[in-house]
């Protein structure tokens, strides 16, 4: 069965919102509709989507601002769909992170084709990157970036190395001494083993709810283990 992709449409013209939403729904997409930028950002906080179709001219927060907010934490595909047709606007939209820029009036079939093309390209790029998915945690090994519920979390180099070492040796228990030797081998042998405990603690804090995967084996050490 083909995976149903989730599209968020943001436009303050309600007739346009209904027209696009109804058409794309018939094309097999799961659709969420919002009429302003603030509600759109709240929606993205609560539920991940696969692509955003975004108008520019909206009250309170225009589409450019919405796009910039999204790009602070996500690389989700964004297609501008707008009546603003100047070259300056098109360039600005692409420079701040949009994947495509479609001008009104437009063809619904062309919009659907542009969405399909963008999703195929994004899926192709993601397949070329070395990624791992463990429950709520996704890891982009090429970019050394960890995501939790599809949102990037900032790990230090050592925290990332510690997480990857435990994950790649999933189920195996390592003592503090072993972890120190593997990950802090450039340090003096007289260094404190407390640094291992400290990094385990900060790693768990940053994993927020997924810290259960990093388990303490009392009297022995630590291991990474998925839910059974």
Mean pLDDT along residues 160-185? 87
pLDDT, position 188 = 44
Domain 131-224: state its class: mainly alpha
pLDDT, position 213 = 93
Domain boundaries, given as residue ranges, for the chain: 6-128, 131-224
pLDDT at 72 > cutoff 60:
yes
**What CATH code is assigned to 6-128?**
3.40.50.2300
Answer whether 51's CB lies under 8 Å from 75's CB: no
pLDDT at 129 > cutoff 60:
no
Label residues 151-174 b or e (16+ Cβ within 10 Å = b): ebbebeebbbbbbbebbeeeeebb
pLDDT at 190 > cutoff 60:
no
| CA–CA–CA angle 163, 183, 146 (5° rounding) | 25
Mean pLDDT along residues 111-119? 89
């Amino acid at each position: 069965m083909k995976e149903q992709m989730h599209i968020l449409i943001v436009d303050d013209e309600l007739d346009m919102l209904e027209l696009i939403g109804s058409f794309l729904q018939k094309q097999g997409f799961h659709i969420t509709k919002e009429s302003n930028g603030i509600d759109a950002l709240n929606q993205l906080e609560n539920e991940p989507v696969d692509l955003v179709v975004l108008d520019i001219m909206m009250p309170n927060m225009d589409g450019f601002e919405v796009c910039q907010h999204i790009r602070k934490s996500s690389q989700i595909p964004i297609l501008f769909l707008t009546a603003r047709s100047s070259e300056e606007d098109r360039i600005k939209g692409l420079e701040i992170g949009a994947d495509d820029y479609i001008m009104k009036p437009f063809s619904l079939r062309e919009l659907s084709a542009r969405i399909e093309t963008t999703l195929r390209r994004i899926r192709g790029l993601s397949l070329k990157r070395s990624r791992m998915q463990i429950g709520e945690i996704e890891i982009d090994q090429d970019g050394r970036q960890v995501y939790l519920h599809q949102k990037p979390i900032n790990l230090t180099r050592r925290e990332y190395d510690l997480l990857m070492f435990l994950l790649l040796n999933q189920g195996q228990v390592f003592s503090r001494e072993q972890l120190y030797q593997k990950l802090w081998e450039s340090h003096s042998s007289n260094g404190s083993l407390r640094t291992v405990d400290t990094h385990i603690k900060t790693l768990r804090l940053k994993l927020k709810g997924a810290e259960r995967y990093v388990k303490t084996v009392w009297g022995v050490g630590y291991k990474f283990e998925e839910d059974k």
